[in-house]
Amino acid sequence: MIAPRLLKMLGLLLAVLSLSSCVSWGVGTIKTGQTEAEVIAQLGQPTHIYQDGDQHLLEYMRGRMAQATHMARIGSDGKLISYEQVLSLQKFAQIKVGQSDKASVLKIIGAPSETGFFPRVQLETWSYPYKESGVWDSLMSVYFDQAGIVSKLENGPDPLRDPSERRSRH
């Protein structure tokens, strides 16, 4: 009788620990005007930093399954200008086929969760899982030609979250 009770307590403990680890993924209570040091104190070290003119961006990737990347834009005065979730249709629309390069994509939506290469068509792909319209588990793929210029964007269901895809793999 001790074993089932111990297992139940262990399961409860693991559930509590997993929930508490989710707190660190939260977006915090960041407000414009805060100093960069205050932002980092609240959110931790950024996953990447991008220079954008006299401003810079602190990227906070939340991981493949979290479907979110937040960017904190810091002005030349060292204060927060904006803080937003950048994996959205509005941000993807800022990427221009035939014009945007890898550096500009990084500044718009951050680093990809996965990368790949299609040798037959000579295209590199960067993948971004996100929650489309707050509802659908989607995957945006950005394709680059050999010069590093965006050649196309492709949006569709995220195969890692699509139940029909999971069933067909087993």
Nearest CA to 136 out of 98, 88, 92, 101 is that of 88
Per-residue pLDDT tens for 32-91? 999 999 999 999 999 999 999 999 999 999 877 779 999 999 999 999 999 999 999 999
**pLDDT category of residue 23 using cuts at 50, 70 and 90:** very low
Q: How far apart are alpha carbons 170 and 165 in whole angstroms?
A: 9
Identify whether 15 is part of a domain. Answer: no
Tally of residues, the chain: 170
Identify whether 18 is part of a domain. Answer: no
Burial of 12 (0-12, 13-18, 19+ CB in 10 A): exposed
Q: Which tokens belong to 53?
A: 């003119």
Say what the pLDDT of residue 27 is: 54
Distant-in-sequence, close-in-space partners of 114: CB < 8 Å, separation ≥ 6: 64, 126, 127
Instruction: Find out whether 137 and 129 touch, Cβ atoms under 8 Å.
Output: yes
The conformation of residue 132, written as its DSSP 8-state character, comes to E
Burial of 42 (0-12, 13-18, 19+ CB in 10 A): middle
| pTM of the model as a whole | 0.78
Identify whether 109 is part of a domain. Answer: yes
**pLDDT category of residue 9 using cuts at 50, 70 and 90:** very low
Identify whether 10 is part of a domain. Answer: no
Identify whether 161 is part of a domain. Answer: yes
Q: How far apart are alpha carbons 92 and 86 in whole angstroms?
A: 8
Nearest CA to 79 out of 28, 37, 26 is that of 37
Domain that holds residue 125: 28-169
Nearest CA to 74 out of 46, 121, 33, 118 is that of 33
Identify whether 17 is part of a domain. Answer: no
Domains contained in the chain, number: 1
Q: Report the DSSP pairing between strands 150-157 and 69-74.
A: unpaired
Residue 26 pLDDT > 60: no
Per-residue pLDDT tens for 87-145? 999 999 999 999 999 999 999 999 999 999 999 999 999 999 999 988 899 999 999 99
Q: How far apart are alpha carbons 90 and 109 in whole angstroms?
A: 10
Identify whether 157 is part of a domain. Answer: yes
**pLDDT category of residue 160 using cuts at 50, 70 and 90:** confident
Identify whether 97 is part of a domain. Answer: yes
